[in-house]
Amino acid sequence: MYFVAINGSPHQDGNTVFLLKKGLEQLKLMGAQTGFIHTAEILKSTPIPFCTACSAPCRGDCAQGTRLAEVLHILRKADGLLLGSPVYFGTVSGQLKAFWDKIRCLRAEKKLLNVVGGAVAVGASRFGGQEGTLRTMQEMMLVQGMTIIGGGQQDYDCGHYGVAAQSPVEEDQYAQERIVIMVKRLFEVAQATQSLRC
């Protein structure tokens, strides 16, 4: 099993990364292989960081000769994705949205079809737009045909839509517990659906 965390924050050492790394640590304990992508870093390597819909269906021409080509190769092998974003004006960061647009060639290839996905959102306050941000990430994954996980049942519950965290996450014990619960479910569902992925 191979799982990739996608950091939608412009920061490589902030709250979102803290939780994503905690999730990957748990997945490693379960025997999974893991990868980590910083969207801001990948976008910097592309001459045009935003999708211009230069081909339909997308052929991924803009990725040629950039770090994005390497990332596409990584994502094609994934059994599960863990998306993370800070809350910016009630939704995902511009970096995450721009990155997701740039990987649209994977939709034409059906490479994320039935890949399992979960989401993490970090807001500045307890009710700082996390659930809306989580739903946006889920909608992005649904367009790729991914299998979305959300809340479990009572004692096995990561949150209705995913992990809704408050900054600073080092002090948010609730979120730290929920990320561990979420990735256990991510692993479980990825194992159960392995035969559905091409």
pLDDT for the residue 152: 62
* pLDDT of res. 90: 95
Which segments of the chain have a pLDDT < 70? 151-159
Answer whether 81's CB lies under 8 Å from 4's CB.
Answer: yes
| CATH top-level class of 2-192 | alpha beta
Domain boundaries, the chain: 2-192
Residue 3 bridge partners (DSSP): 34, 80
Q: What is the pLDDT of residues 87-145, one digit of tens each?
A: 999 999 999 999 999 999 999 999 999 999 999 999 999 899 999 999 999 999 999 99
pLDDT for 153 equals 58
* Residue 64 φ/ψ, nearest 5 degrees: -55, 125
Confidence at residue 156, expressed as pLDDT on a 0 to 100 scale: 62
Residue 5 region by backbone torsions, left for phi larger than 0, else alpha for psi between -120 and 50, else beta? beta
Q: 15-29 vs 173-192: helix axis angle to the nearest 10?
A: 50
pLDDT at 155: 61
Tokens of 26: 């748990």
Task: Share the mean pLDDT of the chain.
Answer: 94
- The two three-digit tokens of residue 49, written as one number: 């960081």
Which distant-in-sequence residues (6+ apart) come within 8 Å of 11 by Cβ? 17
Cβ neighbours for 91, distance < 8 A, ≥ 6 positions apart: 129, 132, 133, 136
